[in-house]
């Protein structure tokens, strides 16, 4: 490789890094401009659990079902830092949400580039995702979903971003991230079929016997995601100031773990009209969630 080529490549890399840095800086400024810095008093569906989360992540409390102990532990470790710099407790928790979204967006951008998406389109794609309504809202309030998004992007990065690494290592790392993710928010289990489909050629190439063995090992590693749940009875038995439910008892713990209090929200439609309404709502959600600013991006 000639010296001229090296200089040109180095210059292009600097331009790419500068572009990504500028984009993330813009996103951070947008999030900071709309960050919730006051105790929650809103009854909007987006905000139902925010006040509780603002409290629990500042005093080592516990959250509503399904408990979200990983989020709670990490949040309580994080919030003292912005408070040292003058942020109030409500803003500190919102900053915690923003941190995870910025990480998720960075991984999403890296994935787009790994898939060969041209830089301008990759930048636009990240901005569009950042400014969709649900992503934006959950990045500036005290909510659990930004951590879910970061774990989701992390799993896809293991599949595609680390494609040159040994398959067994990737499966074990997927097991860890997947376990943390599913025990954090159960809906992440829906990623499993897609992840397996993406890895299918590698699994076939490795041979089914070895692949099944490695998948079993990954499943065992995933069980480590349960460990943060020990936090719930520990805080209950320590008589913490903010404990949700009766997680200090065996029945209360599993009631919380399985989210039984929300069973009434997870029901099948009872008529053809209800099915049609659900389908229309689901198909219309993506367009409705794109903020005009994000659409312009």
Classify residue 146: in a domain, yes or no: yes
pTM for this model (two decimals):
0.91
Closest CA to 148 of 40, 215, 225, 88: 225
Classify residue 188: in a domain, yes or no: no
Classify residue 45: in a domain, yes or no: yes
Are the C-beta atoms of 2 and 52 separated by less than 8 Å?
Answer: no
Classify residue 154: in a domain, yes or no: yes
Question: Mean pLDDT over residues 15-30, rounded?
Answer: 97
Q: How many domains does the chain have?
A: 1
Backbone angles phi, psi at 134, to 5 degrees: -65, -40
Residues 69 and 60: their CA atoms lie apart, in Å, by: 10
Residues 181 and 223: their CA atoms lie apart, in Å, by: 11
Instruction: Extract the tokens encoding 255.
Output: 């009631």
Per-state percent for the chain, helix, strand, coil, to nearest 5: 75, 0, 25
Classify residue 213: in a domain, yes or no: no
Classify residue 8: in a domain, yes or no: no
Residue 272: pLDDT band with limits 50, 70, 90 = confident
Classify residue 170: in a domain, yes or no: no
Residues 297 and 288: their CA atoms lie apart, in Å, by: 16
Classify residue 290: in a domain, yes or no: yes
Look at residue 3 in the predicted model and tell me its pLDDT.
52
Residues 11 and 16: their CA atoms lie apart, in Å, by: 9
Residue pLDDT, tens place only, 115-173: 999 999 999 999 999 999 999 999 999 999 999 999 999 999 999 999 999 999 999 99
Q: Is the pLDDT of residue 5 over 70?
A: no
Could you list the residue range(s) of the whole structural domain that residue 28 is in? Answer: 13-164+227-296
């Amino acid at each position: 490789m000639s010296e001229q080529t090296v200089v040109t490549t180095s210059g292009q890399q600097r331009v790419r890094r500068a572009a990504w840095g500028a984009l993330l800086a813009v996103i951070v400024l947008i999030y900071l401009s709309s960050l919730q810095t006051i105790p929650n008093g809103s009854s909007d569906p987006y905000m139902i659990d925010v006040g509780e989360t603002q409290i629990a992540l500042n005093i080592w409390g516990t959250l509503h079902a399904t408990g979200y102990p990983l989020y709670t532990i990490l949040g309580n470790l994080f919030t003292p830092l912005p408070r040292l710099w003058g942020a109030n407790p409500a803003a500190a928790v919102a900053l915690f949400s923003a941190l995870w979204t910025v990480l998720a967006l960075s991984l999403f951008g890296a994935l787009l580039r790994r898939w060969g998406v041209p830089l301008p389109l990759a930048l636009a794609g990240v901005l569009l995702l950042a400014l969709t309504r649900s992503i934006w809202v959950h990045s500036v309030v005290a909510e659990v979903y930004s951590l879910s998004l970061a774990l989701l992007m992390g799993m896809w990065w293991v599949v595609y971003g680390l494609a040159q690494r040994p398959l067994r290592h990737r499966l074990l790392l997927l097991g860890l991230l997947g376990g943390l993710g599913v025990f954090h928010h159960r809906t992440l289990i829906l990623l499993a079929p897609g992840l397996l489909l993406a890895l299918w050629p590698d699994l076939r190439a490795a041979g089914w016997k070895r692949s099944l063995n490695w998948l079993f090992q990954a499943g065992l590693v995933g069980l480590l995601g349960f460990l943060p749940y020990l936090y719930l009875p520990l805080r209950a038995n320590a008589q913490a100031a903010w404990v949700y439910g009766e997680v200090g008892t065996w029945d209360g713990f599993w009631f919380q773990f399985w989210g039984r209090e929300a069973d009434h929200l997870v029901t099948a439609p009872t008529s053809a009209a209800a099915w049609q309404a659900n389908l229309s709502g689901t198909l219309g959600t993506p367009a409705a969630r794109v903020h005009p600013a994000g659409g312009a991006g």
